Amino acid sequence: MSGPQIDVSFCWGFPADTPETSLPRLRELGFEGIELWPDRLNQFGAERWAAALAATGLRCFQLCPYFNFVHGSEKIAESWKMLTEFRRVARLLNCRRLRVFTGPPWGAGVIGAAVATPAQWADAIRSLREFCDAAPEIEFCLECHGGSLMEDSPSALRLLTGVARVNLTTNLQLPLRNEDWRVSLAALAPYTTHIHIHNWTRGLDDGELTFLADGVFDWRPVVRHLVQQGRSVCLSVEHVDHGGRHDPWETARRDGQFLQTLKHEVVR
């Protein structure tokens, strides 16, 4: 397909299902691939995931390791070991994109952009540049998330321009910290390849998580802007049980239909 395109993905979250049972069903519901976290990946093993993906014709759009560049040399060394393993897995799964946190985004040890020291910024920028150079086949995708060095667009741009590598991109996970979504979109659209797409009952990050079609926020202007800028983007449904309120399969049924409709409205 020439020109910008939209890929429709689901963050796999079916504790009672296997790759062999879940992937064909996701395909029938309109999804073109999945996103995998380490616990789900390790539960079945990369080889089994690779076989199930190949059998269904689905893709693995993103793998989600937990790198840490802001807590000293030992954590950076652990992140290098993690990169070696995830490059191996990415090759098996024919996956190009690895999610990036700069450190733990919740719990103990959270380092957001506003509190990071100059040394922590320097470590993160240097490490990301070295990762990008060491693994040019990988797209390293910064998840714009509170408690990370890319929690708002100025901090994300500080990383992007400091690293200055084409294989460093952004997951525009709206909303960013203390920032109108239009500001975030204008700043980061040129770097955005992936979105963890959510919706809420009262507005952007306001109220309860809910199905995309039932929430208040309108994603069409966001996706339309990205496509008009020439960007291809993966829309990946995350937090699929909405905090335990809904069956993930009901989310898949509703959100798959919604995203396929959105895709055909925007990409003509």
DSSP-assigned beta bridge partners for residue 102? none
Q: Tokens 């309109």 appear where?
A: 30
Query: 173, 157 in Cβ contact below 8 A?
Result: no
Classified as helix, coil or strand, 121 is helix
pLDDT at position 1 is 47
Total tally of structural domains belonging to the chain? 1
237 in any annotated domain: yes
8, 232 contact by CB (below 8 A): no
In a domain, 83, yes or no: yes
Q: Which residues of the chain have pLDDT under 70?
A: 1-2
Specify the pLDDT at position 2.
65
Cross-strand bridge partners of residue 235:
8, 195
The pLDDT value given to residue 72 = 97
Query: Which pLDDT does position 118 carry in this prediction?
Result: 98
Q: Please report where in the chains the tokens 């390293």 appear, as a residue.
A: 140
Residues with Cβ within 8 Å of residue 1, at least 6 apart in sequence:
none
Q: Where are the alpha helices (DSSP H) in 164-217?
A: 181-188
Burial level of 223, CB count in 10 A (0-12/13-18/19+)? Answer: buried
The pLDDT assigned to 108 comes to 86
The answer to whether residue 35 sits within a structural domain is yes
104 in a domain, yes or no?
A: yes
Q: For residue 16, which of 29, 25, 5, 4 has the smallest C-alpha distance? A: 25
Contact 1, 268 (CB under 8 A): no
Residues 188 and 254: their CA atoms lie apart, in Å, by: 28
- Judge whether 27 lies within some domain: yes
Residue 1 within a domain? no
**42: exposed, middle or buried (Cβ count in 10 Å: 0-12, 13-18, 19+):** exposed
Model pLDDT, residue 268: 73
Report the distance separating Cα 90 and Cα 65, nearest Å.
11
- C-alpha to C-alpha distance for 36 and 195, rounded to whole angstroms: 14
Determine the Cα–Cα distance for residues 108 and 50; give it in Å rounded to an integer.
34
Q: Which CATH number covers residue 109? A: 3.20.20.150
Beta bridge partners of 163: none
Q: Which residues span the domain enclosing 180?
A: 6-266
Q: Give the Cα separation of 48 and 72 in Å (integer).
A: 35
Domain assignment present for residue 117? The answer is yes
Does this model's pTM top 0.95? My answer is yes
